[in-house]
Chain A
Amino acid sequence: DQQVKQNSPSLSVQEGRISILNCDYTNSMFDYFLWYKKYPAEGPTFLISISSIKDKNEDGRFTVFLNKSAKHLSLHIVPSQPGDSAVYFCAASEAGTYKYIFGTGTRLKVLA
């Protein structure tokens, strides 16, 4: 039951360039989407979120884009820094529920 999919298990980007992480979903009832960052031996850390009534949300170097018709969201990190190297999880939730459905994660490596 892969309602949230991150098809790229890994991504390498040069420091200073843009990192684009992608996420696709199948459940049209999802109304809230989030990105979490996870370092080894730590819990997921909230990064940025977007409600389904918006198509873009920006917070500093991080921007999330939502394309509801394509059931696709992406996270842009500009400029990428070595400290951004981590596993990034996309998550979604449906109105009226409590749970987050997570994707499998994308390991981002930012090269100095």
Chain B
Amino acid sequence: EPEVTQTPSHQVTQMGQEVILRCVPISNHLYFYWYRQILGQKVEFLVSFYNNEISEKSEIFDDQFSVERPDGSNFTLKIRSTKLEDSAMYFCASSVDRGPYNEQFFGPGTRLTVL
């Protein structure tokens, strides 16, 4: 069964450094998403991406964050200057379409630890 994959599984970085989290969505999906889950808290929406542009973003997704689909398969989340509070699990998701009965399928996540 097709699945969303994410690399790396765990990323440790120093505060102020840039990180890039990578995702390979399911191949026939057209909508891509990033969510995060801070330890012990709920899963929070960051951004959605369709047709090579951001379609929606949350207030968490500030100027420090950017997303890109650099080629036909990868979808990346970049954090320019990491802060301690960016430590979280970051989940990539994808869907065929949006709306009812077009569920988002999630990857296994990347655990980001900012020291």
Contact = CB atoms under 8 A, between A and B. Distances in A.
Q: Do A and B bind each other?
A: yes
Interface of A: 31-32, 34, 36, 41-46, 49, 51, 89, 91, 93, 95, 97-105
A31 B91 CA distance: 23
Contact of A99 (B6, B50, B56, B103): B56
B92 to A, nearest CB: 8
Contact of B109 (A43, A46, A102): A43
Task: For chain B, give the interface size range.
Answer: 20 to 34
B41 interface: yes
14 contacts: A32-B100, A43-B4, A43-B107, A43-B109, A46-B103, A49-B101, A49-B103, A89-B43, A98-B31, A98-B33, A98-B98, A100-B45, A100-B104, A101-B45
Contact of B45 (A41, A42, A99): A99
Given A43-B4, A43-B106, A46-B103, A99 B42 contact: no
Contacts of B100: 31-32, 49, 51
Contact of A95 (B33, B99, B105, B108): B99
Contacts of B18: none
Contacts of B108: 41-43
B58 interface: yes
A50 to B, nearest CB: 9
Contact of B91 (A44, A98, A103): A44
Task: Across the A-B interface, give the 4 residue pairs with the lowest CB-CB distance, nearest first.
Answer: A43-B106, A98-B48, A99-B45, A102-B43
Interface in B79-107: 91, 93, 98-101, 103-107
Contact of B48 (A32, A44, A99, A102): A99
B48 A105 contact: no
A53 B100 CA distance: 11
